Amino acid sequence: MTLDPARPHRRYNPLTGGWVQVSPQRMGRPWQGEVSAPDPLPPAYDPACYLCPGNARVGGEANPPYEGVYVFANDFAALADAPGGAASDDPLLRAEASGGVCRVICFSPDHGRSLPRLAPPQIRAVIDTWADQTAELGARFAHVQVFENKGAMMGCSNPHPHGQVWATAHVPQEPAQEDAMQRAWLAEHGRPLLLEVAEREAEGERVVAINDDWLAVVPFWAAWPFETLLLPRFPVARMPDLAPGQRDSLAAILKALATRYDNLFRTSFPYSMGWHGAPFVEGPSDHWQLHAHFYPPLLRSASVRKFMVGYEMLAEPQRDLTPERAAQMLRSADALVHYAD
């Protein structure tokens, strides 16, 4: 590759077909993550939290005194199990009915402990829940989206560690795009795209965390400053297909990655993360590799965020910090000891 990474260039995202503008010359000044006082963490129990064990939710129903992972039907579901809504094939005003299910997944009864501060067996229990939800809903729906919105900066309503699962009868836009791109890659190159990415990246400068089964990298084409892609180093299309040992090693790398994120700016690192796996539809899924995306908004400190505005909204995403430099900064943050412990 004859790319000079110090000069402006564009990088291609083979998963979406999109491009990102990289402008590293704008990073001329030395990069110093502002060292701020560590953010205070929430208490273990908050009587006003609608996710804590025993507390009432907004709809009036009370949570049981749960001790592990707890799943409930979202009281304000965005999708209805019995799809309504009129379809329209008017070419200008096209619409279709969409049905589905929305659930909330509390990771732990402890209001103050987010993923990196859970013990590996507790993270493993979250992974098992993700897999079980995916299997159960995948029997009825084409796509199961597991995700976590974390932090007020991402519009998350509550610090209690939790994620969501939405299942839909249709395959939504992002996974549909990835489906088409991975299918075309396999047809052209004879190997699954993300297996090739995992192999190419394993020894490289964009690694953030790695173990025998998993790899977390800042992808070559990352748009968000500290975006990462979590990839299996073995073929697997969907979360329920993970073997017990692969779930344990996933718990380990999730803990390492999330600890590095939190330690980077000594804050509970905000992000949206979620899993993409093969849709539950007829036909082969050998082009698919299960993976997770982490999209954190922070740029320079616990309070300075990257805005995707202006050029990003009207032309294409742009970044100053190179993915290689972002990976190096994340690697230099401690993966073992969380700043709060």
Task: Indicate whether 157 belongs to the interface with ligand H2U (CB under 6 A).
Answer: yes
**Nearer to ligand H2U among residue 160 and residue 306 (C-beta):** 160
CA distance 204 to 11: 17
CB atoms within 10 A of CB 53: 18
Task: Indicate whether 58 belongs to the interface with ligand H2U (CB under 6 A).
Answer: yes
Between residue 130 and residue 169, which ones bind Zn ion under the rule CB under 5 A?
160
Task: Indicate whether 237 belongs to the interface with Zn ion (CB under 5 A).
Answer: no
Q: Are 340 and 117 in contact (CB under 8 A)?
A: yes
By CB under 5 A, the count of residues binding Zn ion is 6
In 3D, which of 274, 270, 261 has the Cα closest to residue 326?
261
User: Which residues are annotated as catalytic?
Assistant: 162
By CB under 6 A, the count of residues binding ligand H2U is 14
Task: Indicate whether 54 belongs to the interface with ligand H2U (CB under 6 A).
Answer: no
**Nearer to ligand H2U among residue 114 and residue 158 (C-beta):** 158
Task: Give the β-pairing of 19-22 and 318-319.
Answer: parallel
Query: Which residue has the CB atom at the shortest distance from Zn ion?
Result: 49
DSSP string, 19-87: EEEE-GGGG-SPP----PPPPPPPPS--TT-SSSTT-B-TTSPBPP---S-EEEE-TT-SSBSS--S--
| Element of type H or E holding 252 | helix 244-265
Choosing from 153, 156, 176, 184, the residue that interacts with ligand H2U (CB under 6 A) is: 156
- Smallest gap, in angstroms, from Cβ of residue 66 to ligand H2U? 15
Query: In sequence order, what are the beta bridge partners of 167?
Result: 101, 144
| Binding span for ligand H2U by CB under 6 A among 93-101, 131-139, 149-157, 252-260 | 149-157
State the residues that interact with Zn ion by CB under 5 A. 46, 49, 51-52, 111, 160
State the residues that interact with ligand H2U by CB under 6 A. 50, 57-59, 74-76, 104, 149, 156-158, 162, 164
